[in-house]
Amino acid sequence: ADATGNRYWFCAFCVNQHASICGTFPHPPPTCSAEFARCDASRHDSVTSEPLPCCTCGAPKYLNEAPDLCELNKFDDMMEILSYSIPGFRHLVAVDRSFNTFTRLWCVAELVQAHLSSIPQSVCLLSDAVLDVDNADLSIYIKLANLRVAECS
- Tens digits of residue pLDDT in 36-63: 887 788 788 877 888 888 878 888 888 8
- Tell me what pLDDT residue 146 has: 92
Binned at pLDDT 50, 70 and 90, residue 3 comes out as low
pLDDT band at 26; cut points 50, 70, 90 = low
| Dihedral in degrees, nearest 10, Cα atoms 63, 66, 67, 69 | -90
**Residue 36 CA, distance from chain mean position:** 20
Q: Which of 74, 72, 121 has the alpha carbon at shortest distance from 95?
A: 121
Q: Which pTM was predicted? A: 0.61
C-beta of residue 147 within 8 angstroms of C-beta of residue 103: yes
- List all residues 6 or more positions away from 7 whose beta carbon is below 8 Å from its beta carbon: 96
pLDDT digits (tens, 9 = 90+) for 97-146: 889 889 888 788 888 888 988 889 989 998 888 888 888 888 888 888 99
Q: Is 21 exposed, middle or buried (0-12, 13-18, 19+ CB in 10 A)?
A: middle
- Mean pLDDT for the stretch of residues 80-92: 85
pLDDT at 14: 64
Inform me whether the pLDDT recorded for 9 exceeds 60: no
Q: Which residues contact 20 (CB under 8 A, 6 or more apart)?
A: 61, 62, 63, 70, 71, 72
Return the SS3 of 91.
strand
Asked if residue 12 has pLDDT above 60, the reply is: no
